[in-house]
Copies of this chain bind each other. A is one copy, B any other.
């Protein structure tokens, strides 16, 4: 499906970093969702967040909803969000049409698009396209919250510093939504930024792990085989540039666990059926069991670094070296967190609308 994802709710991406605009179309939305512009702005602001670790293009994202909204509510027809590209300086990028930046898609794009790709600023591969995903996802996220479903992502670990675990999910998620840096523990935040800056000053970059929690999803949604909740979420998460792994619940730690440790025992709590542990991350057999859906994604270090690297000119097929000019992020994980949580909201809304019908979010 290439640039379209989803079943009941379909998301279609378009745009190049240095083209006219980037954007997204969402189709299948419940009519009558009130647009929470403030929430969208806040999420876009968080994604863009200028800190010492993230210094890329800081222009305000003047997004425009050009269809699918009437008098402040979704109409139920395709909603298109467009974000124009401004103040673009493409001169630095001419090189990448022939010399591959290690870790980037310059060479693979050449193989796929035969030289017709727009190589300026990463083109269609640019993380900038996630601005559109965040705007769309934020709109859906605020609608889900009215149904009691909350989605939040924090930096679990970066630059050797760990954040605290989620304690009260809903309150932690609400706090994340009003904080600039997606961390639960303020002290960890300071340390992490400090350490990332040191790495950046040594012309290098660093990766990390982000943890997402989705709470309030009713038990019994998802599919046993190809469209398990894990399949749908992982499919979406690997669309975030730099994500190289995902694990649900205990994840890779299962490899060391015994069945008696891994199995989540059920118990009755009033009217509810709950599990004491949550090693399965809220999912059994691909279907939600009512517990929080929890997963980690690993984000690789920013590929663009200032130091000299060996590479090739893929047009001339010659070995060469590259120094990537400009100011580079120490890590993209703070903004990846905002993308992960909004994209998760889209996936969950897709699953719920498929199960309960078009009017679910009303």
Residues 103 to 158 of chain A near chain B (Cβ within 8 Å): 103-105, 107-118, 123-125, 129, 157-158
Oligomer copy total = 4
A216 at interface by CB-CB < 8 Å: no
Could you tell me if A264 and B76 are in contact, using CB atoms closer than 8 angstroms? no
A248-288 vs B, CB cutoff 8 Å, 1 = contact: the mask equals 11111011111111111111100101011001110111111
A1 proximity list for chain B (CB < 8 A): 7, 10, 226-227
CB-nearest residue of chain B relative to A353?
B357
Could you tell me if A14 and B73 are in contact, using CB atoms closer than 8 angstroms? no
Could you tell me if B207 and A255 are in contact, using CB atoms closer than 8 angstroms? yes
A60 at interface by CB-CB < 8 Å: no
Total interface residues in chain A, CB < 8 Å: 156
Which of A25-33, A40-48, A50-58 is the contact stretch?
A: A25-33
Could you tell me if B287 and A124 are in contact, using CB atoms closer than 8 angstroms? no
Which of these, B15, B80, B117, contacts A14 with CB under 8 Å?
Answer: B80
Query: Roughly how many angstroms separate A73 CA and B304 CA in the complex, as a whole number?
Result: 28
Query: Roughly how many angstroms separate A319 CA and B281 CA in the complex, as a whole number?
Result: 21
A197 at interface by CB-CB < 8 Å: no
Which of A235, A271, A289, A355 has the most C-beta atoms of chain B within 10 angstroms of its own C-beta?
Answer: A235
For chain A, what secondary structure do more than half of its interface residues adopt (helix, strand, loop), or is it mixed? mixed
Which of A16, A67, A256, A354 has the most C-beta atoms of chain B within 10 angstroms of its own C-beta?
Answer: A67
A201 at interface by CB-CB < 8 Å: no
Could you tell me if B25 and A299 are in contact, using CB atoms closer than 8 angstroms? no
Query: Roughly how many angstroms separate A317 CA and B176 CA in the complex, as a whole number?
Result: 35
Could you tell me if B66 and A15 are in contact, using CB atoms closer than 8 angstroms? yes
A245 proximity list for chain B (CB < 8 A): 245-248, 251-252, 254
CB-nearest residue of chain B relative to A241?
B285
Could you tell me if A10 and B4 are in contact, using CB atoms closer than 8 angstroms? yes
Known: A14-B80, A70-B116. 20 other contacts (CB 8 A): A3-B27, A5-B226, A16-B68, A23-B66, A25-B25, A31-B116, A76-B117, A77-B124, A78-B124, A102-B266, A108-B222, A111-B288, A207-B257, A225-B239, A245-B248, A245-B251, A263-B305, A265-B309, A267-B312, A268-B312
A243 proximity list for chain B (CB < 8 A): 230
A319 proximity list for chain B (CB < 8 A): 267-268
A305 to chain B, nearest CB (A): 4
Residues 341 to 362 of chain A near chain B (Cβ within 8 Å): 354-360, 362
A336 at interface by CB-CB < 8 Å: no
Could you tell me if A2 and B225 are in contact, using CB atoms closer than 8 angstroms? yes
A103 proximity list for chain B (CB < 8 A): 259, 262-264, 280, 284
A100 at interface by CB-CB < 8 Å: yes
Which of A27, A254, A289 has the most C-beta atoms of chain B within 10 angstroms of its own C-beta?
Answer: A254
A20 to chain B, nearest CB (A): 4
